[in-house]
Structures are given as structure tokens and as C-alpha cells.
């Protein structure tokens, strides 16, 4: 099976699981509709796939981690919905369709995002997971979700993203802060959740974390490059947004070519952290290399 087929298969797995998970919420009518619309059909499902792949590399199975993979996709979707709102980035297009607030209104989009964040915590704290994982591991994972999505993670990144847009000049440190918090924290959460639930040691967890931060930054740089060079038709979302909103990106600082070079370097540096484990995490390196093809 080549990588594209692998990714497609895992995407299917995630999509089915998410569909089953939101099914019981149907009673809540318009909110359920807004939540379903935002989640399905989804995007690349990168974060959940990274979680499945990491866990599979450790345990040679993946089923028991699927709910956690869905939860991270819910967190990611929540952040997209809120980010797209007119009061933030004011984006009209996402995953090739009108954004959630364009269809359901800003109030319902806000609440659909809110609901998804709570739902993620509801899912990962379910006692049914105790058949597979220890209470201690579950608690650790929940805490990681809290930190990674909060002020010192996702939200902190979004805030600096907005703040930096109003600054007179931008520097590498600020951009790195934004990309690490805004994007790498969730990618890191995906790998750390798999590592913790898979029971790897401290050193291995640190290596997975180190890889995920470098890869996460690279992934955001790729996103920024595509915002500058691609089109809504190809990308399925508004482009040219960063320039319009004066966002602090490496594209703005070093140009498209400079940013491409950096994306490559971050991926290579990240893969380096996995070398002590030989081929164990080969799939992660392959996925990281694959994402670079989008800017080739």
C-alpha cells in the first residue's frame, strides 16, 4: 500500500468514527446540523491520522485510540470555526464549502465550536476507555488536552497571531511562537496522546514531541506558502488572507522561496529526532516528507 492509499484508508476510519459519535446528538437540531456540517466531510484529518500512526507504531494496533483521534479532530475543527468567524479572520470558504457561520450564522457557529471543545473532553474522559488504558494515563492525556488547547497552546497562538498582525515589524521569534502555539501544539498533542496511551518511556515521548514541534511548524509554514501561492479552487479555502490581514509569517519575512527552504529544514530536523528508533516511526517521517510535496 502506498502512502496515499494509507492516508485515504485512515481518513475513512476517522470519518466513520466521527459520524457514529455525533449521531446520538441529533436531538439538538440546528446545533447538531452545524456541528455535523463543520466535521463532515472533513479535511485531510492530519492530526488524527498522526495519532493513529504513532500509536500503531508503538502497539501494532489502533482501534482503542480512535476516540482520542476523533477528539483531536473536534478540537481542530472548533479552532477553525472560531478562527473563520467574521470577528476574527472573516473567512467565507473552508474545505471547499461556505464556512459554518456563512451557513448557520455567527451565533450558531460560535456555539458549534464551543460544543466541539466540550465534546472532545467528554469523549476522552469516558470510563469505557478504562478497559484499554489506565486511569493515570487517561488523566495525563486529559491534562495534555487542556494545556495544548489553552492559553499556553492553541488559544495563545491565535492571540499572538492577531496581535502580531497589528505590529509595525515582525521577527522570527514572534512567528515561531505563533506557529508553535497555533499549529504545533495540536500536532504535538496528537503524538503525545499516542505516546502516553501507548506507554512509551520519557525519552521516547520527548523524541516524539521534538519531532512533532518541528513538523508542526513546518506544516504551518506550508499552509502560509499555499495561502500566498495557491487559489481557493485548489485549496478549498480563501487564499491571500495572510497578506490582507498582515499576518506574521515566514512568507512575509523571507518570501516564498525562503519559506520553502525553512519548511524543508524543519521537516528534516524533526525526522532527525526519530533516528534513535530506527524504522519504528518510519510512517511519521513519510507523512512529513509527503506534506512537503504540496509546495514542490
Q: Which residues are at the interface with its own copies (CB under 8 A)?
A: 25, 28-32, 35, 82, 85-88, 105-108, 110-111, 113-115, 117-123, 125-127, 135-136, 138-140, 142-143, 145-147, 149-156, 158-159, 162-163
Provide CB contacts within 8 A for 234, sequence distance 6+: none
Residue 125 or residue 230: which is nearer to its own copies going by CB?
125
Angle, vertex CA 176, rays to CA 46 and CA 207, nearest 5: 60
What whole-number distance in Å separates Cα of residue 174 and Cα of residue 54? 30
From residue 112, give the alpha-carbon distance in Å to each of 10, 67, 107, 189.
25, 19, 9, 22
CB half-sphere exposure, 5, CA atoms < 13 A: 2
Residue 16 or residue 126: which is nearer to its own copies going by CB?
126
> What is the grid cell recorded at 69?
483521534
Q: Rounded to the nearest whole angstrom, what is the least distance from the CB of residue 93 to its own copies in the complex?
A: 19
* CA 268 to the chain's CA centroid: 20
Instruction: Tally the residues of the chain.
Output: 296
The number of helix segments (H) and strand segments (E) in the chain equals 14, 2
Residue 10 or residue 247: which is nearer to its own copies going by CB?
247
Q: Rounded to the nearest whole angstrom, what is the least distance from the CB of residue 256 to its own copies in the complex?
A: 28
Q: Rounded to the nearest whole angstrom, what is the least distance from the CB of residue 11 to its own copies in the complex?
A: 25
Q: Rounded to the nearest whole angstrom, what is the least distance from the CB of residue 257 to its own copies in the complex?
A: 32
Residue 32 or residue 261: which is nearer to its own copies going by CB?
32
Q: Which residues pair with 97 in a beta bridge?
A: 94
Residue 41 or residue 105: which is nearer to its own copies going by CB?
105
Residue 74 or residue 222: which is nearer to its own copies going by CB?
74
From residue 102, give the alpha-carbon distance in Å to each of 33, 94, 105, 137, 240.
13, 10, 6, 40, 19
Residue 170 or residue 274: which is nearer to its own copies going by CB?
170
Q: Rounded to the nearest whole angstrom, what is the least distance from the CB of residue 29 to its own copies in the complex?
A: 7
Provide CB contacts within 8 A for 145, sequence distance 6+: 71, 75, 120, 121, 124, 189, 193
Q: List the one residue out of 213, 222, 217, 211 whose CA is nearest residue 178.
A: 217
Q: Rounded to the nearest whole angstrom, what is the least distance from the CB of residue 38 to its own copies in the complex?
A: 13
Q: Rounded to the nearest whole angstrom, what is the least distance from the CB of residue 91 to its own copies in the complex?
A: 13
Amino acid at each position: 500500500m502506498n502512502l496515499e492509499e494509507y492516508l485515504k484508508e485512515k481518513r475513512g476510519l476517522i470519518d466513520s468514527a466521527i459520524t457514529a459519535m455525533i449521531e446520538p446528538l441529533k436531538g439538538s437540531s440546528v446545533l447538531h446540523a452545524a456541528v455535523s456540517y463543520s466535521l463532515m466531510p472533513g479535511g485531510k484529518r492530519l492530526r488524527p491520522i498522526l495519532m493513529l500512526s504513532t500509536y500503531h507504531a508503538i502497539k501494532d494496533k489502533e482501534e482503542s485510540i480512535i476516540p482520542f483521534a476523533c477528539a483531536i479532530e473536534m478540537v481542530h475543527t472548533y479552532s477553525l470555526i472560531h478562527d473563520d468567524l467574521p470577528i476574527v479572520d472573516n473567512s467565507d470558504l473552508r474545505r471547499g464549502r461556505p464556512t459554518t457561520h456563512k451557513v448557520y450564522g455567527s451565533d450558531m457557529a460560535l456555539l458549534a465550536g464551543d460544543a466541539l471543545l466540550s465534546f472532545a473532553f467528554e469523549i476522552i474522559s469516558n470510563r469505557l476507555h478504562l478497559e484499554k488504558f489506565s486511569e493515570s494515563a487517561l488523566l495525563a492525556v486529559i491534562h495534555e488536552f487542556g494545556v495544548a488547547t489553552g492559553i499556553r497552546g492553541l488559544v495563545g497562538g491565535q492571540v499572538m497571531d492577531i496581535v502580531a498582525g497589528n505590529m509595525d515589524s515582525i521577527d522570527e521569534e514572534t512567528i515561531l511562537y505563533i506557529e508553535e502555539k497555533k499549529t504545533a501544539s495540536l500536532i504535538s498533542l496528537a503524538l503525545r496522546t499516542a505516546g502516553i496511551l501507548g506507554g512509551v518511556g520519557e525519552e521516547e515521548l520527548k523524541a516524539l514531541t521534538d519531532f512533532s514541534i518541528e513538523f508542526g511548524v513546518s506544516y504551518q509554514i506550508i499552509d502560509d506558502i499555499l495561502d500566498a501561492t495557491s487559489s481557493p479552487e485548489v485549496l478549498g479555502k480563501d487564499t491571500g488572507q495572510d497578506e490582507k490581514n498582515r499576518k506574521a509569517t515566514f512568507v512575509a519575512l523571507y518570501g516564498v522561496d525562503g519559506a520553502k527552504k525553512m519548511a524543508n529544514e524543519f521537516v528534516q530536523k524533526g525526522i532527525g529526532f526519530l533516528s534513535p528508533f530506527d524504522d519504528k516511526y518510519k510512517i511519521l517521517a513519510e507523512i512529513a516528507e509527503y506534506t512537503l510535496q504540496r509546495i514542490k
